[in-house]
Structure 1
Amino acid sequence: MSLASHLEELQRKHSDLARELDEAMNHPSVDDMQIVMLKRRKLALKDEIEKLKARPTQH
């Protein structure tokens, strides 16, 4: 998998988690722990995306 396609996949997953988190936060019956777990997963994806973007390109 190329770096660009890997980044695209991570960004897609990050967007999906953002939508899932928004839905969970707007639903009164969602457990607070579930929201915390979604936020952590979203942050971990963001960190991984930033690491890959900061990696020097190799030709």
Structure 2
Amino acid sequence: MDSEVIARRIELLRQEHGDLEAAIEALQSAPAIDQLQIARIKKRKLRLKDEISMLEDMLIPDIIA
């Protein structure tokens, strides 16, 4: 994969991660808190974070010690 494509994908994933954080905050401040929905969003956020980390590792060349 091209490094520009990877960088763009990381940027999009970070934006989605931030959007999910905002959604969680909004749900937690709502009068009727839906714990199941919040848990699903948090799981999605963790998957995004893992994917971001994996893509960032692809951008960093391996250093041979």
Normalising to structure 2: TM-score of the pair?
0.78
**Where in structure 2 are the equivalents of 1:5-20 lying within 5 Å?**
5-20=8-23
- List structure 1 segments (4+ residues) > 4 angstroms apart after TM superposition: none
Listed as ranges, the gaps of 5+ residues in structure 1 are none
State the aligned residue count. 58
Letter paired with 1:2: V
**1:25 and 2:43 matched:** no
Provide the aligned C-alpha RMSD in A.
1.7
Larger Rg: 2
Normalising to structure 1: TM-score of the pair?
0.85
Listed as ranges, the gaps of 5+ residues in structure 2 are none
> % of aligned pairs identical?
34
